[in-house]
Amino acid sequence: MTQLIEFFYDFRSPYSYMAYTQLREMDVDIALRPMKILKVMELVGNTPTTITCKAKGRYSRVDLARWAQRYGVPLNPSDMRTNDGEACSRAVLAAQSPADAAAITLAIYRAIWSEGKRLATADDILAQIAATGIEPGPFAERID
């Protein structure tokens, strides 16, 4: 029996992107659980110090580059402030099957963190869904 891993993630988190690239290589079933990390941080009294502290932000970029190199994962991030992470998450939640959710998650992660693409609108996200071979039409209303 394959182990089930619940993967709680936010498309705005480069570390969750790195984790997802590695989970996909493991012999496990992955239950995708998109969430809003900034909301969790707010609820527990935490702040995104990689954003608020310039030195930590610089260090984080160097650290991410090291992890990307170690994992053999391309890293060419887009500007996260311009992406609609919540709409990306809704696209995953609207998937008709776990396999579709996994394909959409991978496509969105690659677009944001490997290809430097901006996913700021529903059309941007629908284009990534279409690139997976999944019909994007039914997602349009659900993303918004």
Active site residues: 13
Residue 132 one-letter amino acid: T
By the 8 A CB rule, do 34 and 74 touch? no
| Residues facing residue 30 across a β-bridge | 5
How many Cβ atoms from other residues are within 10 Å of residue 139's Cβ? 24
* Whole-number Å distance between alpha carbons of 15 and 17: 5
By the 8 A CB rule, do 24 and 107 touch? no
Rounded (10°) angle between helices 122-131 and 85-93:
50
- The dihedral through the CA atoms of 97, 144, 16, 109 has a sign that is positive
Task: Identify the three-state secondary structure at position 135.
Answer: coil
